[in-house]
């Protein structure tokens, strides 16, 4: 699996939660180093520059990420929020967020990993208390556990992303349908 961060969920907090992939099977962790955590903050567009993260930042970010994932799942399934996850998210959201600055060249957002995490936590609070709750769906690929905002016409979207899951799943289904037909033809 590649190490490029993917942003297909339609909301930064959902993309953050999706940095642990394939939760029901192989589980692939994207935040394996402080550098990978910082890369996510940069690639997401949340910050322009960030101070180097430490292992403690990774541990805190993964804990908040898991809280976000569980809260999103609870909300999507219409269940009560897990109190521990709620407290963890709210604690992170209470911290100082990223603050953009205006420079002669334009907007510049410099941050620490803690500020970036506080900003993601605040985005999760907004998502989980906002109007997009009915639009939250889990990817139709059984191996994928990404949750995305389905803004498609008629809410017909099935995949977190066609490139990441849809094409792979459709190709596998096509091969599975063709296999019995080719076996029958060779008899």
Q: What is the CATH number of the domain that holds 16?
A: 1.10.3300.10
Report the pLDDT value the prediction gives residue 138, as an integer from 0 to 100: 93
Confirm whether 105 is domain-assigned.
yes
CA distance linking residue 153 with residue 96, whole number of Å = 38
Confirm whether 77 is domain-assigned.
yes
Residue 73 predicted with pLDDT over 50: yes
Give the residue-averaged pLDDT of 70-85. Answer: 96
Confirm whether 167 is domain-assigned.
no
Q: How many domains does the chain have?
A: 1
Confirm whether 20 is domain-assigned.
yes
Confirm whether 96 is domain-assigned.
yes
* Beta pairing class for 106-108 and 28-29: unpaired
Residue 91 predicted with pLDDT over 90: yes
Entry pTM: 0.85
Least confident of 39-43, 67-71, 83-87, 158-162: 158-162
Report the pLDDT value the prediction gives residue 186, as an integer from 0 to 100: 60
Query: How does pLDDT run across 52-67, given as a tens digit for each residue?
Result: 999 999 999 999 999 9
Confirm whether 143 is domain-assigned.
yes
Confirm whether 76 is domain-assigned.
yes
Confirm whether 182 is domain-assigned.
no
Domain that holds residue 123: 12-158
């Amino acid at each position: 699996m590649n190490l490029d961060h993917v942003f297909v969920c339609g909301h930064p907090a959902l993309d953050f939660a999706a940095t642990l992939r394939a939760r029901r099977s192989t589980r692939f962790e994207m935040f394996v180093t402080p550098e990978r955590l910082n890369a996510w903050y940069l690639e997401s567009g949340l910050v322009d520059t960030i101070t180097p993260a430490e292992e403690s930042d990774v541990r805190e970010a993964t804990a908040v990420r898991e809280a976000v994932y569980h809260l999103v799942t609870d909300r999507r399934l219409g269940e009560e929020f897990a109190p521990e996850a709620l407290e963890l998210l709210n604690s992170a959201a209470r911290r100082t967020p990223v603050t953009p600055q205006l420079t002669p060249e334009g907007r510049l957002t410099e941050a620490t990993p803690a500020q970036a995490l506080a900003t993601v936590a605040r985005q999760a609070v907004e998502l989980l208390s906002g109007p997009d709750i009915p639009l939250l769906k889990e990817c139709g690929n059984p191996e994928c556990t990404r949750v995305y905002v389905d803004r498609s016409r008629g809410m017909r979207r099935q995949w977190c992303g066609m490139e990441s899951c849809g094409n792979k799943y459709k190709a596998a289904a096509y091969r599975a349908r063709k296999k019995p037909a080719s076996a029958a033809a060779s008899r």
